[in-house]
Structure 1
Amino acid sequence: MDAEIGQADGDGGRSLHQRIVADIEGRILSGEWPPGHRIPFEMELTEHYRCSRMTVNKALSQLAKAGLIERRKKSGSFVLQPHVQSAVLEIRDIREEVTSLGLDYGYHLISRSLRKASENERSSLELAADARVIAIQCLHSAGGKPFCFEERLINVEAVPESRDETFEETAPGPWLIRQVPWSAAEHRILAVSADDRHARQLEVAKGSACLRVIRRTVFAGAYITRVELTYPGNAFELVASFAPTQV
C-alpha cells in the first residue's frame, strides 16, 4: 500500500467495516489525505485488513454516501473537495436557546434506562441484534414553563462512558458534545399534533400544534445518538439566512 491506514488489530469492539471507515475518515478529516488523494485500491485494503472484498466495498460505499470520497470506475476512489454549505440548523445547547430569549433555563430528568435496543431502534441506529442503548426522557423549561420534551437514545457501544452517567444534573446533549466528537449529522423537521404523552409533558392541550426535530449524529462510521426534540408550536422557530444565487 502507498499509505498505511491504522492497524489491523485492536478493534475496540467495532465491526471490521466500521474500523475501515473510521481509519479512512480520520485521515480525511485530519487533512492528512487532502482532496484528490487516491484511496488505496480495494485489493490493497483487503490485504491490509485481511478481510473480504465485500467488507471493503461496504466501507467505501458508506464513505461515498457520506460525501467524503468519490468512487470512479476503473480509476479507484478519491477524496472529495468539501462542499461549501450553509446549515439551516446547528447543533445547539438547548440551554443557550432558552437564555438567548432572556429566560431562566431549567432541566428535569424524567427517566433513564439501560436496555436492549428494540427492532426499530436497531434499525434507526444501525445496531447489532444484541446491542444495548441508554434511553432517556427529559424536559427543558424556559421561565418555569415547558420548552422542549427530549427523547434520546445513546449507542452504548459507541459511547461506553454513558453507562456510568446518570444525567440527573447534566442534560445528555451537552454531555455528549463534550465526550464524543461527531463528523456528520442528519436533521428531520416535522409538524406534529401533541398526543396524550407529549401534551402532558409540554402542558398543552391534546392535538396542539408542535414542532419536532429528529436528529442522528455519526462518528467513525457509527451512529452515536438519535434524539427527538418536541417543542410547543409557539415556542420555537427556524431561521435560515440566504442570498440570491449568482447567475
Structure 2
Amino acid sequence: MTTLLETSQTDARKLVKSTLTGSGIEAVGGAAAAVLAILGLAHVAPQHMLAIAAIVIGLALLAQAGVLANGASDVVAREAMGRRDKMEFEGGIGAQALAGGAALVLGILSLIGLDAGVLMSVTAIVLGVGLVLESGATARLNRLDDGAPASARGTRTRRAVAGSEGVQMLIGVAAIVLGILALIGLDATTLNLVAMLAVSVSILLSGAALGGKMAGMLAMSH
C-alpha cells in the first residue's frame, strides 16, 4: 500500500495541512457552540443562543466537510481504497456537509422568527444522523498510513481519534432521541439546548483528536 507521505511529499503535506486546518475550525466551532448552548441553559436568551449555536455548528461542519472533500480523491488514491471503503469515506463527508448545511439553514430560519421549537428539534435530529454517518469518514482518516515507524505518540493520537469516534456515535444517537422527544411536545428548548451542547462537545473532541493526528503526521514529514 502506498503510504500517505510517500511519492509526492509536497502534495502529502498540503493534504495533511488542509485537514489540520479543517479540524481546527471544527474544534473552535464546537467550543463556541458549546458556550452558546451553556448560556442558553443558563436562561440567557435561550432561543437565540440555540439558533446561533446551530448556525455555528453548521458552519464548522461545512468547513470541515469542504476541506475533506477537496482532498478526498487524494486519500482514496493513496490508500488504494476498495469500493466499500470509498463509499464509507465519501458518504461520511457528504453526510457531514448535508448536516452542516441543514443546521445552518434551519438555525437562520429559527433566528428570524419561524417555529423555533420544530426547526431546532429537526436540527438536533439531522445533526445526530450526520454525526453517526460522519464517523465512517473519521475512522478512515484515522487509518491513514504515514509511513513512519510506530511510536507512542502515534498510538496515542490514533486511540484519541478512535475514542472520539465512539463518543461521536453515542452523542449522535442521543441527539436524535432528544430531538424526537422535543418534537413530540416535551420541553423543546431545554432538550434541544442539551442536544446542541452534546453535539458541540462531540465535534470539539473529534476536531481536536483528528487535528492532533494530522499535526503528528506533519511533524513526521519534515
Say whether the fold is shared (TM-score over 0.5): no
- Judging by fraction of residues, say which structure has more strand: 1
- Judging by fraction of residues, say which structure has more helix: 2
TM-score by length of 2: 0.30
Higher relative contact order (CA 8 A, sep 6+): 2
Structure number with bigger Rg: 1
